[in-house]
Each structure stands twice: as structure tokens, then as C-alpha cells.
A and B are shown apart, each in its own frame.
Chain A
Amino acid sequence: MDISTTTDAPPPTPQPPVAEQKRAARGATRPGDRIFLGLSRGSGILLLVVMAAIAVFLTYRAALAISDDHGNFLTTFEWNTNLTPPSFGIAVLAFGTIVSSVIAMAIAVPIAVAIALFLTHYSPRRLSGPIAYVIDLLAAVPSIVYGLWGALILVPHMDGLFGWLNDYLGWTGIFSWEGGAPRSMLTVGILLAIMILPIITNVSREVFRQVPRMHEEAALALGATRWEVVRMAVLPFGRSGVISASMLGLGRALGETMAVATVLSPSYDIQASLLNPGGGTFAQNIASKFGEATPLGRDALIASGLVLFVITLLVNGAARAIIARRKEYSGANA
């Protein structure tokens, strides 16, 4: 924007020769420029090459596995790559991955947005610094540590919640509980929610902080209360940012491996209830099965990884579409 305005006023210097003028217009004469252009273009191309290489590798190995599969790769409820004939399918994994991520999002997004709003608009400045710092720390904890904490602390303390859900909501079928150790999809969802909380909070906080002061002051001048300011000025401005933040969190939840593998009691069947142990996710299944996998087993795991790759692409695409549609209403691009 600034560059275009400066061209309006040409400097009153003597006109240089024509050839030099042309070179100056093209602008890419200095070695620094050329090197930087090369580097940045190279980085862009490198990214595409890496992505293409990953996609080709995944597709090739996945095709090998799927051609040997005697079950239906999309609907079979088992993962037996060592049997003859091998039979495996991703139905349970796809279901588990999506269910656990949806639970995590349902819990984490409202809390994260609330934390971000508190930090930017409600808390005293002296308090918001330390809290933000602690949230940053949460994001730096390795996922295996979350997994161990989940298995040793969270799981034994879920009995009460599970019992309550079973008593009052058991009739829905989704929350019925047979009394087994609570190493189920709901526990995984809660753990994932804690893990993705920091990333959603941090990004949302940055977005809310950039709400133009003028918008807020205008709302206040019109007699809005603080809640109304948040509702009318801050949230609409930050909506696309919060969606992006949630997608970052969702990406982590979809691909989370060790924490899920440590907490979940996996099986190759779909449990109607979120409280009974069973199910599995793509990443957890890869982590569990890779160690002793035969060559076919590895290819099968890679095929499942490809499906996760596709699901992640779809989710990201959907998020971009939502953001693009809301662009005109949000102030983010003003």
C-alpha cells in the first residue's frame, strides 16, 4: 500500500539515461535481491517437492497394501495383516479419530475462547502476563507426558464422572457404562482437549488483542456494556481467527499419537457408548502396530496414514472455505 503512494511523487532529480532507467524499473539488479529471490523461490518449490514426495510415497505403498487386502479397506472391522489372507480396514480408526477429535473440540474451543477473552479484556494486566506464560508452558509439554499423566492420574479419577453420566444420561446409549476401567473415547477426548487448549487459546488471544481500539471505543460510546463490546466488536472481528485457531487444535487432535496410545484401551470394534473402552485412532494404531509389523503390515499402516492425510486436508479445506466466506464480515482484513 505504501509503495504505490510513493510512486505518485517522482523525486525532482535529473533524469538518468534510458538503459539505467529500465534496469531500475526492473529492480532485480543487486546481488542481494537476486539471492533473496532465489532463496525464497527455492523454499517455495522445496515445500511443493516435499509434499509431492510424501504423497507419492504414501500412495505407492498404500496401493501395495490395499491390493493385498482381502477385506474391504474402508469397512472391515479388523486389522489382521499377519493372517493369511490378510484382512484389514480403517472403519474403526476413522470413526475413533473423528469422535475423539470432536469431543476434544467441543470441550476445548469454548474454554479456550473464554480464556483468551479473559486475558485480553477482563483480567488485570498484571495477571494476564503470568497466565499467558503458563499457557505457553502447557503447549511445550511433550505429548507422552500428557499420556502418562492421563493414564496414571486422569483415568483413575474418571470413575466419578462416568458413574454420574451413566446414572443420569445412560438412557441415551451414548453415555452408558459397564463399569470397566474408564480408558475410553471420552477420556481420550478430555485429554486431547487439555492438549489442544493452549494452542487455541494463544492464537485466539493474539487475534482478540488486535481488535482495533476504535471499534471497542465506538461500542462503548454507544453505551455498550463490556459483554456487549465483546459480543458486538471483539467476537465478530476475531471469528475467522478463532476458526483458524480451532483448526490448528483440531490438526493436533487428529494426529495425536502417544497420549492416545497410552490412555485408550484399543479394540477393533465401534462402541456405541463413549464410556466403554474400545475403538482406536489412526495415529494410535500406527504407533501400536508398527513395532512388530511385517512389510505388508507397514504398507497397511501407511495406507491408514494416507487416509488420515486426506481427512486432515479435507478439514483444512473446510476451514479455509469458512474463513473465506466470512471474510467480508470480519475486520481481520480491513
Chain B
Amino acid sequence: MMLQRKNRLRALSLGAVAVTGALALTACGSDDNGDGGKASGNPSSAAAGSIKCDDAKGQLLADGSSAQKNAIDAWVKEFSRACGVQINYKGAGSGAGVTSFNQGQIAFAGSDSALKPEEVAASKKVCKGGQGIDLPMVGGPIALGYNVPGVDNLVLDAPTIAKIFDSKIKNWNDAAIKKLNPDAKLPDLKIQAFHRSEDSGTTDNFTKYLIATTPDNWKYSGGKAWQAQGGQAASGSAGVAQGVKQNSGAIGYFELSYAKDMTTVAINTGAKTPVKPSTDSATADIAAAKVIGTGKDLALQLDYKTKAEGAYPITLVTYEIVCDKGNKADTLPATKAFLKYIAGEDGQKVLTQNDYAPIPAEIIAKVRTTVDGLS
């Protein structure tokens, strides 16, 4: 009897813990919403004066690339403060974003790679009379962060990078690295190359660079999954950056925002001075990109082999994907106003503050024209 009552008490207290836990969680959840609601009720706030809302209203759902999530979040904060439109960008990954877009669940998708032909074909069902198009909005350098005691200005070139990440160069005092860094005191230290453990657009873009510049040293087919053997895998850019910070002898690749408090590799591209990753050097690289999209599609072909001064070659461009024609009537005004804002000067300025690279003037001008013509 005693035992029973004890158990019941325990069950009750467990239940109570669970309930309070759930309450606490929902409280956290609703906090966000409350914030958004408050912001939307207060449209006359500063800093948002230049955003044209037109007749944007309601709520937008969007999903896609996690690489541009921070940029979108910064934009959404400004935009919803100005126009009272709530935009819910999930950042579940480029693949998930394109899938939801082609199922008509979201107003626009973010993606690290341009739509494939079969995805364009699928989008025609959702975009009545039109198709899905790629609009480059966010650029970013992929930095190579490293942790080698006593070495501050490491310079590498594409073949060396490929060999390091393919476990062909295993020690920091390797002759190939010495040749590129004649003045550095390279220690006798095992190299630990960190890559992403999950499929990722960052991996895709990084390996695209290696495939384009040094196919002899990087014989893999590329893609979002890491294919080389050896090295260390960590989950997320944050995990890779953490791994590099924790382990002496480590090197890893991630977006610039994760590289703030570490040393980054300058790339010897063949230009006079090796190039460090920065928002400016990435924009300089994107400026050399070719538009390969047809019609209103503005998909870009990046020039990984660039030798231009100050152009950082390992760069990614992420797109917003919308219908050129046949966007849903209830979400079109808000989508258009939001895209106008992010492609505008103020929107692109927000990017630099968040360690992303703005899209160069010539290309962003085309994006603005296309956004104006969305219907």
C-alpha cells in the first residue's frame, strides 16, 4: 500500500514536471510570436523608413538553404518591423526548400544551387503560366579556418588544399606547404582536416571549387555529401568551427561568420598577392560570374579559376526561388515587396553587417528588374 502510494506520488510529480516543462517550452515558443506581433503593431519605427511595403500584408511561408538563414533573419526583422508582414523562413535545407516550393506550400524558397531542369519542369505546375526562377541575392566566401600554433599567415593553393582534405598531406611541415610559406615556422604537427558530417551546400560549393581548379588532386564527383576518406567529420558549420578551435593542427571550411575569432587561409590563386576571405573579396569574385540562366532566370556560373587581384575564389551564391509568373495572388504583394527590399541598396547593406557578401552592382540591377516584373 505504502509502495503504491509512493509510486502514485512519483507519477504525479513526474507528470507535474512534464507539464511545467511543456508550459515553459510553449512559453518560449509564444515569446517569439508575441515579439513579431508587437513589432507588426508598430510600423512607424525607425531604420525601416526606406522599405516600400506597397500593399504587402499577411504572412509568408518560406524555406530552404540554411546558409542564408542569418541573412534572411536579419532582413525579416527589418521588413516585418516596417510592413507588419510576418515571414517564416525555416532554413531546413536547400533540397527541402525546393521540394516544398514545387509542392506549392511556400511563397519562395532559398537554395544554394540553381534549379535543375527537372525541378524547373515540376515548378510549372505550381507557377500557372510561368516557372520557377533563380534570383541571386546572397553571396558569401567559404573561409578555411585553421589552428596551427605560431603560424598566422598561412597561404595555400588549390592542389595543396585538395591534398590536405584528401589525407594525402598529413603533416603541417610537408614540403608542399613549406614551398607556399617560405617564411613561416611550420611545426611537426598532424593535420586534422574537418569536414561536414551531414549533407551540405557548403560542402557542395567547396568541392566544386576543388573539382574546377584541381581535378587531378580531387577525383570525386562532388555533391552535398563529403566523399573523401579520412579526416574528421563534425555536424554543422558550428561543429566544424568548434572542432578547428579545439584541436591544434586542425583545418576546416565554413562560412565567414564562423571564422571571426580564428586565423583563415589566404588562397594563392595566381594573383600577385594571396587573397583572404572577406565580404569584399567574395563580391569581387561574384562580379566575374556569368549569368547562365535563360529568360528571367539569373542563375550564375562562378569563376573558380579566377586570377583577378583581390577576388576570393571559394565563394558561394545562394538564390531565392520564386515564380516569374503565376505567383499566388494572396502572397504576391508581400513576396514582391520583400524581394524588392532585399535586392535594394538597404537590403544588400544588411548583408555586409552579417558577414555575407552583397551581389555585385551589375547583377543585382538585373535582379531588381526581374523582381519588378514578377506577377
CB within 8 Å of B: which of A281-299? 287-289, 291-294
Question: Interface residue tally of chain A, by bracket?
Answer: 20 to 34
| Residue in contact with B235 in the complex, picked from A269, A277, A288, CB distance below 8 Å | A288
Residue of A156, A261, A266, A291 contacting most chain B CB atoms (<10 Å): A291
Given A179-B190, A288-B235, answer yes or no on A265-B197 (Cβ-Cβ < 8 Å). Answer: yes
| Residue in contact with A155 in the complex, picked from B92, B95, B224, B246, CB distance below 8 Å | B246
Interface pick from B225-233, B258-266, B273-281, B354-362: B225-233
| Residue in contact with B243 in the complex, picked from A179, A181, A288, CB distance below 8 Å | A181
Residue of A151, A180, A292 contacting most chain B CB atoms (<10 Å): A292
Report the minimal beta-carbon distance from B187 to chain A, rounded to whole angstroms.
14
- Which residues of B lie under 8 Å from residue A294 when comparing CB positions? 95
Does A152 belong to the interface (CB within 8 Å)? yes
| Residue in contact with A265 in the complex, picked from B95, B221, B234, CB distance below 8 Å | B234
- Which residues of A lie under 8 Å from residue B201 when comparing CB positions? 292
Does A140 belong to the interface (CB within 8 Å)? yes
Does A80 belong to the interface (CB within 8 Å)? yes
CB pair B223 A82 closer than 8 Å? yes
Residue of A288, A293, A294 contacting most chain B CB atoms (<10 Å): A288
CB pair A291 B199 closer than 8 Å? yes
- Which residues of B lie under 8 Å from residue A204 when comparing CB positions? none
CB pair A262 B247 closer than 8 Å? no
Given A289-B198, A291-B96, A293-B199, answer yes or no on A181-B246 (Cβ-Cβ < 8 Å). Answer: yes
- Which residues of B lie under 8 Å from residue A156 when comparing CB positions? 246
- Within the assembled complex, what's the spacing in Å between the Cα atoms of A287 and B335? 32
CB pair A291 B197 closer than 8 Å? no
CB pair B232 A293 closer than 8 Å? no
CB pair A293 B95 closer than 8 Å? yes
Report the minimal beta-carbon distance from A230 to chain B, rounded to whole angstroms.
22
Does B205 belong to the interface (CB within 8 Å)? no
Given A83-B223, A140-B17, A180-B192, answer yes or no on A292-B95 (Cβ-Cβ < 8 Å). Answer: yes
CB pair B200 A292 closer than 8 Å? yes
Report the minimal beta-carbon distance from A180 to chain B, rounded to whole angstroms.
6
Report the minimal beta-carbon distance from A284 to chain B, rounded to whole angstroms.
8
- Which residues of A lie under 8 Å from residue B232 when comparing CB positions? 180-181, 183, 265, 277
Report the minimal beta-carbon distance from A294 to chain B, rounded to whole angstroms.
7
A184: nearest residue on chain B (CB-CB)? B232
Report the minimal beta-carbon distance from A199 to chain B, rounded to whole angstroms.
13
Does A273 belong to the interface (CB within 8 Å)? no
**Interface membership of chain B positions 210-249, coded 1 if the CB is closer than 8 angstroms to chain A and 0 otherwise:** 0000000000010111010110111100010011001100
CB pair B235 A262 closer than 8 Å? yes
**Interface membership of chain A positions 248-289, coded 1 if the CB is closer than 8 angstroms to chain B and 0 otherwise:** 000000000000011001110100000001000000000111
- Within the assembled complex, what's the spacing in Å between the Cα atoms of A292 and B92? 8
Given A289-B199, A292-B200, answer yes or no on A265-B223 (Cβ-Cβ < 8 Å). Answer: no
B112: nearest residue on chain A (CB-CB)? A292
- Within the assembled complex, what's the spacing in Å between the Cα atoms of A269 and B227? 12
- Which residues of A lie under 8 Å from residue B246 when comparing CB positions? 155-156, 181
CB pair B17 A152 closer than 8 Å? no
CB within 8 Å of A: which of B1-57? 17
CB pair A288 B93 closer than 8 Å? no
Does B348 belong to the interface (CB within 8 Å)? no
CB pair A291 B242 closer than 8 Å? no
- Which residues of B lie under 8 Å from residue A151 when comparing CB positions? 239, 242
- Which residues of A lie under 8 Å from residue B72 when comparing CB positions? none
| Residue in contact with B93 in the complex, picked from A269, A277, A291, CB distance below 8 Å | A291
CB within 8 Å of B: which of A139-155? 140, 151-152, 155
B247: nearest residue on chain A (CB-CB)? A181
Report the minimal beta-carbon distance from B89 to chain A, rounded to whole angstroms.
15
Chain A residues within 8 Å of B, Cβ to Cβ: 79-80, 82-83, 140, 151-152, 155-156, 178-181, 183, 261-262, 265-267, 269, 277, 287-289, 291-294
Question: 20 new A-B pairs (CB below 8 Å) besides A183-B234, A291-B93, A292-B93?
Answer: A82-B224, A82-B225, A151-B239, A151-B242, A181-B232, A181-B247, A183-B243, A261-B197, A262-B235, A265-B197, A265-B234, A277-B232, A287-B198, A288-B197, A288-B199, A291-B92, A291-B95, A291-B199, A292-B95, A292-B198
Q: List 9 A-B contacts (CB under 8 A).
A: A140-B17, A178-B190, A180-B192, A261-B197, A267-B230, A288-B198, A292-B95, A292-B198, A294-B95
